[in-house]
A and B are shown apart, each in its own frame.
Chain A
Amino acid sequence: MAYEPVIGLEIHVELSTASKMFCGCRVEFGGTPNTRVCPVCMAHPGALPVINRQAIRYLARIGLALGCSIPERSIFHRKNYFYPDLPKGYQISQYDQPFAVDGRLEVTTQDGIQDVGIERVHMEEDTAKNIHAGESGRIADSLYSLIDFNRSGTPLVEIVTRPDIHSPQAARAFLNQLKNLLQYLDVSDCNMEEGSLRCDANVSMRPAGSEGLGVKTELKNMNSFKHLEKGLAQEIARQVDILESGGDVVQQTVHYDVGSGLISPLRSKEEAHDYRYFPEPDLVPLVATGDFVDEVSSGMPELPAARAERYRRELSLPAYDVEVLTSSRGLADYFEETLEHFNDAKLVSNWLMGELLGYLNATGQSLAECKVSPAGLAELLTMMREGKISANAGKEVFSEMCDSGAAALEVVEERGLSQISDEGELAAVIAEVIEDNPAQVEQFRAGKEQVAGFFVGQVMKATGGRANPKLVNQLVRQRLTE
Chain B
Amino acid sequence: MMRAGEITPAELTAAFLDQIERHDGEIAAFLHIRKEEAAEEAARTFVDGDSPGLAGIPTAIKDVLCVEGQPTTCASRYLENYMPIYTATCVRQLQEAGIINLGKTNMDEFAMGSSTENSAFGPTRNPWDVTRVPGGSSGGSAAAVAAGEAVWAVGSDTGGSIRQPAAFCGVVGLKPTYGCVSRYGLVAFASSFDQVGPITRDVADAALALRYLTGKDPLDSTSLEHPEGIRAPEDSDLTGLRVGVVSDLLAGGVDPGVCSSFDAVMEKLESAGARVGEARLPHAEYALPAYYILAPAEASANLARYDGVRYGHRAAGAGDITGMYEQTRREGFGEEVQRRIMLGTYALSSGYYDAYYGQAQKVRTLIVEDFTRAFGHYDLLVSPTTPTTAFRLGEKTGDPLTMYMSDICTIPVNLAGLPAISIPSGLADGLPAGFQMIAPAFRENLLLRAARAAEELIGFDSVSPFIEGRD
Q: Which of A43, A46, A276 contacts B186 (CB 8 A)?
A: A46
A44-B86, A89-B301, A89-B305 in contact; A282/B219 too (CB < 8 A)?
no
A66-87 near B? 1/0 per residue, CB < 8 Å? 0000000000001010101001
- A274 interface residue (CB < 8 Å to B): yes
Tell me if B309 and A46 are in contact (CB < 8 A): no
A48-B184, A50-B221, A89-B305 in contact; A43/B310 too (CB < 8 A)?
yes
Which residue of chain A has the shortest Cβ distance to B76 in the bound complex? A45
- A292 interface residue (CB < 8 Å to B): no
Q: How far is the CB of A127 from chain B (nearest CB, A)?
A: 12
Question: Using Cβ atoms and an 8 Å threshold, which residues of chain B touch A82?
Answer: 304, 307, 322, 325
- B286 interface residue (CB < 8 Å to A): no
Distance of A42 Cα from B305 Cα, bound (Å): 9
CB contact list, A148-188 vs B, under 8 A: none
B296-320 near A? 1/0 per residue, CB < 8 Å? 0110110111010111000000000
Which residue of chain B has the shortest Cβ distance to A139 in the bound complex? B321
Question: Using Cβ atoms and an 8 Å threshold, which residues of chain A touch B219?
Answer: 48, 50
- A290 interface residue (CB < 8 Å to B): no
A45-B74, A80-B348 in contact; A283/B221 too (CB < 8 A)?
yes
Q: How far is the CB of A283 from chain B (nearest CB, A)?
A: 5
B70-112 near A? 1/0 per residue, CB < 8 Å? 0010100001001011101000000000000000000000000
Tell me if B185 and A80 are in contact (CB < 8 A): no
Q: Which of B82, B221, B349 contacts A45 (CB 8 A)?
A: B82
- A214 interface residue (CB < 8 Å to B): no
A82-B304, A87-B309, A276-B345 in contact; A46/B350 too (CB < 8 A)?
no
Question: Using Cβ atoms and an 8 Å threshold, which residues of chain A touch B79?
Answer: 45
Q: How far is the CB of B178 from chain A (nearest CB, A)?
A: 10
A278-B357, A284-B222 in contact; A46/B88 too (CB < 8 A)?
yes
Which residue of chain A has the shortest Cβ distance to B110 in the bound complex? A45
A26-53 near B? 1/0 per residue, CB < 8 Å? 0000000000000100111111111100
- Among the stretches B28-36, B39-47, B187-195, B437-445, the one at the interface with A is B187-195
Which residue of chain B has the shortest Cβ distance to A78 in the bound complex? B301
Give the interface SS of chain A, mostly helix, strand, loop or mixed.
loop
Tell me which of A89, A147, A284 has the highest count of chain B C-beta atoms within 10 A of its own C-beta: A89
- B183 interface residue (CB < 8 Å to A): yes
Which residue of chain B has the shortest Cβ distance to A49 in the bound complex? B221
Distance of A278 Cα from B344 Cα, bound (Å): 11
CB contact list, B188-224 vs A, under 8 A: 188, 190-192, 218-222
Which residue of chain A has the shortest Cβ distance to B309 in the bound complex? A84
A276-B348, A278-B357 in contact; A46/B185 too (CB < 8 A)?
yes
CB contact list, B325-370 vs A, under 8 A: 325, 345, 348-350, 353, 357
- A447 interface residue (CB < 8 Å to B): no
- B55 interface residue (CB < 8 Å to A): no
CB contact list, B276-311 vs A, under 8 A: 297-298, 300-301, 303-305, 307, 309-311
Tell me if A39 and B85 are in contact (CB < 8 A): yes
A-B interface pairs (CB < 8 A), number? 99
Question: Using Cβ atoms and an 8 Å threshold, which residues of chain B touch A88?
Answer: 301, 304-305
Q: How far is the CB of A391 from chain B (nearest CB, A)?
A: 61
Distance of A41 Cα from B302 Cα, bound (Å): 14
Question: Using Cβ atoms and an 8 Å threshold, which residues of chain B touch A335?
Answer: none
- B65 interface residue (CB < 8 Å to A): yes
A276-B350, A281-B191 in contact; A48/B221 too (CB < 8 A)?
yes
Q: Which of A48, A87, A283, A284 contacts B305 (CB 8 A)?
A: A87
CB contact list, A283-298 vs B, under 8 A: 283-284
Question: Using Cβ atoms and an 8 Å threshold, which residues of chain A touch B218?
Answer: 50
- B66 interface residue (CB < 8 Å to A): yes
Q: How far is the CB of B366 from chain A (nearest CB, A)?
A: 18
Q: How far is the CB of A219 from chain B (nearest CB, A)?
A: 25
Q: How far is the CB of B359 from chain A (nearest CB, A)?
A: 13
Question: Using Cβ atoms and an 8 Å threshold, which residues of chain B touch A80?
Answer: 300-301, 304, 348
Question: Using Cβ atoms and an 8 Å threshold, which residues of chain A touch B321?
Answer: 84
- A90 interface residue (CB < 8 Å to B): yes
Distance of A97 Cα from B437 Cα, bound (Å): 38
A82-B325, A276-B345, A283-B221 in contact; A46/B85 too (CB < 8 A)?
no
Q: Which of A44, A46, A89 contacts B65 (CB 8 A)?
A: A46
Q: How far is the CB of A53 from chain B (nearest CB, A)?
A: 12
Question: Using Cβ atoms and an 8 Å threshold, which residues of chain A touch B188?
Answer: 45-46, 282
Question: Using Cβ atoms and an 8 Å threshold, which residues of chain A touch B345?
Answer: 276
Question: Using Cβ atoms and an 8 Å threshold, which residues of chain A touch B325?
Answer: 82
Q: How far is the CB of B154 from chain A (nearest CB, A)?
A: 13
Q: How far is the CB of B71 from chain A (nearest CB, A)?
A: 12
Which residue of chain B has the shortest Cβ distance to A43 in the bound complex? B305
Tell me if B72 and A48 are in contact (CB < 8 A): no
Distance of A181 Cα from B360 Cα, bound (Å): 44
Tell me if A45 and B307 are in contact (CB < 8 A): no
Q: How far is the CB of B149 from chain A (nearest CB, A)?
A: 25
Question: Using Cβ atoms and an 8 Å threshold, which residues of chain B touch A51?
Answer: 221
Question: Using Cβ atoms and an 8 Å threshold, which residues of chain B touch A274?
Answer: 349-350
Distance of A87 Cα from B185 Cα, bound (Å): 17
Distance of A474 Cα from B309 Cα, bound (Å): 83
A50-B219, A89-B301, A89-B304 in contact; A45/B85 too (CB < 8 A)?
no
Q: Which of A45, A84, A282 contacts B84 (CB 8 A)?
A: A45
Question: Using Cβ atoms and an 8 Å threshold, which residues of chain A touch B187?
Answer: 45-46
Tell me if B301 and A90 are in contact (CB < 8 A): yes
CB contact list, A49-69 vs B, under 8 A: 49-51
8 A-B pairs in the complex with CB atoms less than 8 angstroms apart: A43-B310, A44-B311, A50-B219, A50-B220, A88-B304, A274-B349, A277-B348, A281-B191
Contacts A46-B185, A276-B353, A278-B353 given; 11 further ones with Cβ under 8 A? A46-B186, A80-B304, A82-B322, A84-B321, A89-B301, A89-B305, A89-B307, A276-B345, A276-B348, A278-B297, A278-B301
A→B interface (CB under 8 Å):
39, 42-51, 78, 80, 82, 84, 87-90, 147, 274, 276-278, 281-284
Closest 9 A/B residue pairs (Cβ): A89-B304, A276-B348, A281-B191, A281-B192, A45-B187, A43-B305, A46-B185, A274-B350, A46-B66
